[in-house]
Amino acid sequence: MTSYRLLRLAQVIDKTGLKRSQIYAYMKTGDFPKSIKIGASSVAWLESEIDEWIDQKLNKR
């Protein structure tokens, strides 16, 4: 069984250094992992996808 860790917005902001508006703007253009709806008004992101996004940024520098 695969284990997944979900990050809430504050954790994604802390991990990436991006602001909320930047995260949603990048999601809209497909340049950031999509969020997952986990409740009526709650979303989260897969930590593995956030880590992969960070790795891609590091590889481009």
Q: Taking phi first (over 0 means left), then psi (-120 to 50 degrees means alpha), and beta for anything else, what does residue 17 get?
A: left
Whether 36 maps to a domain, the answer reads yes
Strand order in the sheet with 36-39: 6-7, 42-46, 36-39
Whether 1 maps to a domain, the answer reads no
Rg (CA), the chain: 12
Q: What is the pLDDT of residue 3?
A: 80
Question: Based on the structure, what is the number of domains in the chain?
Answer: 1
Domain encompassing residue 34: 6-60
Instruction: State phi, psi for 56 to the nearest 5 degrees.
Output: -60, -40
The pTM for the full model equals 0.91
Q: What is the pLDDT of residue 2?
A: 76
pLDDT digits (tens, 9 = 90+) for 3-54: 899 999 999 999 999 999 999 999 999 999 999 999 999 999 999 999 999 9
Whether 30 maps to a domain, the answer reads yes
For position 47, which CATH number holds?
A: 1.10.238.160
Q: What is the pLDDT of residue 42?
A: 96
